[in-house]
Structure 1
Amino acid sequence: MKRVESNNQTATMVSTSMPGDAECRGFFDHAPDILLTVREDGTIREINLSVVDLLGYSREELIGSSVWRLLHRDDLKRVRRMLAEIFQRETPYSEIECRKIHKNGKSRWMRTRIRYLRNGPGEEPLLNIVSRDFTERRRAESALRDSEVQLRRLLESTGAAIVALDLDGRCTFANPSAADLLGYRDPSQMVGSSMSQHLPVNGTGSRHGENRGRIYEPLDSGCGVCLDDGHFLRAGGESFPVEYRSYPIFHDETIVGLSVTFFDITERLSIQQQLVYLAKHDHLTGLPNRTLFMDRLEAGVARAKRRESILALLYIDLDRFKPVNDQYGHHAGDRLLQSVTKRFRLAVREMDTVARIGGDEFAIILEDISEAEDATVVSKKLNDLIAPPFYLESGEKLSIGMSVGYALYPNHGDCESLLRHADSAMYQAKKKKCCELG
């Protein structure tokens, strides 16, 4: 038994035969939508009683007859092609809007959802179809579109960029926001021009023609297209990121063009990028924080494993940093950390990662080193760079040091093992230094 969901309505569809359970049968027969099962040749195998109310036929009139008799002649070719493709490609789920003919000859618009069903090898393929009447809604939409004067006033006052296109993709209407975003002084300059000149040649908006962009899909499908990561071109050729919605425009139940609403999302993307950066970087030093450090360590170990190369992880703890905060305040401590960061960066390559783990603790990832001794060389270089005094804005001279320990991949295992070994080595170095100082 196959379950099909349609706008919060759940109907039990027949797969090979209708079960004898009276409750299931009653649910099937009295569902508010037309539920039917169709063979590959278009023969109706099963249909529920909603067809009586919605299309005026009895079940007996339709079972065993062709489903094509129910379709409006202007939609017949399109629906036939779609169902043939579903059977050929075994497409699991599809949607279409089309007209079905009432027994009295009047057409009713139906939003139809189709599921391909095949229980197993050798079994007859079937289509389970749910059709919902939305004729009244379409009539209301048509009435709204006919209020052209009122609609134009609304469109011209909105901040959203809106254009209307004909079947050839040429602009028939543009509001001031659209003209401004696309680089025109006045909306009238856009009327009659092709929207294709504002679509990138490749990607989400290929030029209108043999390979039409997604923005034109509703002309064929009758369904809207929404894209939140597209790009348009201004009149001068400059590309900018957009979010757009493209919907078909109907007149007397026929598609006559497109309505495209779009927004420049440059600022939004910039804010998103800033938020991503802030989430993965230390706000004081600009270094990767613990989250980004762990991501890079895992990626680095994976690369080292593939390349059979050596990776070194250095763990660093600053010596005599706490007295700086205590004596000169946190502002001085912050400036000192920023200065330390600059010196650390001088000791490593651009491909290496210097991260602030927290407080006065840092970590460095060295990838593709030739031998273990390279980690010792970098450690010494770091010590040499830290040794010269630092100067506060007040002119005070500060001298700090550092304790460093390192671990190697593959010698010391995976990420967690590397972290433990490097941390332990760092504390051993700090402990040894304390003993030497008395």
Structure 2
Amino acid sequence: MDPASPIPIASIPDLLLDAVCLVDARGRFVFVNAACERIFGYTPQEMVGKSMIDMVAPADRERTLAAAQAVMDGREHVDFENRYVRKDGTLVHLMWSARWSEPDQLRVAVARDVTLQRRAGALREALDGLCDAALADNDMAGLFRRSHALIGTLLPAASVVLALPEGPEPTLRFVFQGGQRVPEGGALRRLCDDAFHSNAAQWREPGTDDACGQALALPLAGPAGAIGAIGVLALRNPATAARFTEADCALLAPVAQQLAVAIQRNQEQARLHFLAMHDDLTGLPNRRLLRERLDAALARARRQQAMLALLFIDLDRFKQINDQHGHACGDRLLQQVAARIGAAVRDTDTVARIGGDEFVVLLEDIASTADADAVAGKIHAALALSFDLGDGIHLPVGASIGSAHYPGQADAIDSLLDAADAAMYAAKARRKAAAGCA
């Protein structure tokens, strides 16, 4: 073409970066410019004759039809935003301006692709929301629900799952499922496993092995490797399903990073709280946690007019064993004693170590003092058996046990502890007297 020659008017729309569309009264494309192929993924030939509304994201169709009707009624529409489904299944955010040409009976519309801007804005809001939620609330369930809602603003997710490891293996377990329920053993679970063990993003096409459609999973990365995984699932619907890509993984990566930070922070707080409330040698509740549980148990007993009992346990010969065999041997003994006492009581009872070789058992909702005596007898029998303390050391260890109960003997925390302590010393004195007589 001669540079001096004018550009044909008909070719000007194809020079524009924005989409230019002519849509008839039935809602079908009758003309699109070349930019439409870049924005929608369809060639102009594929789009002409196609129904406009079929390409709109399902969630946006109702208001899109209302806006189209307003244009056909003669009202010029400027800066109307909606989402279309591209040929490859991904979503594109568009900003439209349109007017109705009465002589031609056509809607003339121009659309600008604002996907990157909208995703950037949604990502900022998501990260800010997660940060605020993580700082304001230690409730992980609440944080996960917030995450699900925020991810829904970034990706067309039918489901969002969060999986964390448990057990020595470790095995991932879904700790949160938002949206459509997905099977624990399904494709999304396997994808989360792959992301967790490889510490890398994973995504896949729809398969035939389950009801999953597009799916992706990202690891929740910590300093020493993945601490879990987050998975996103789209329904299997070829007409409208999102097709997750590497770009979607990159979009979700900052969210996964923020979640990992929040989870690690919560886990560290839980660890510190556990250390503050438990004995570091045996893992049993310490004196502080025992008092909290005893306070709550007394309140329940008063409301329900129930009985509870305290058993105060002091080991025999512990100082002698420590002096003769060393503190490491004494520590092993205390750990085994804790395990045997725990095995002799119900799961609902509390076993605490309150210092040295002293243990306390809180028995709630007992029928009579005979129940407490029966538990004390089981503990006596368990502690009378020989302990294997390593290095060929096998020792029997007895114990003195005193009990106190509510109501009757005491009605407050300190008076109940004092009564049980006094009963234990009385029991120890009787044991010594009996041993002396023998």
TM-score between both structures, scaled by the size of structure 2: 0.44
Q: Which has the higher helix share?
A: 2
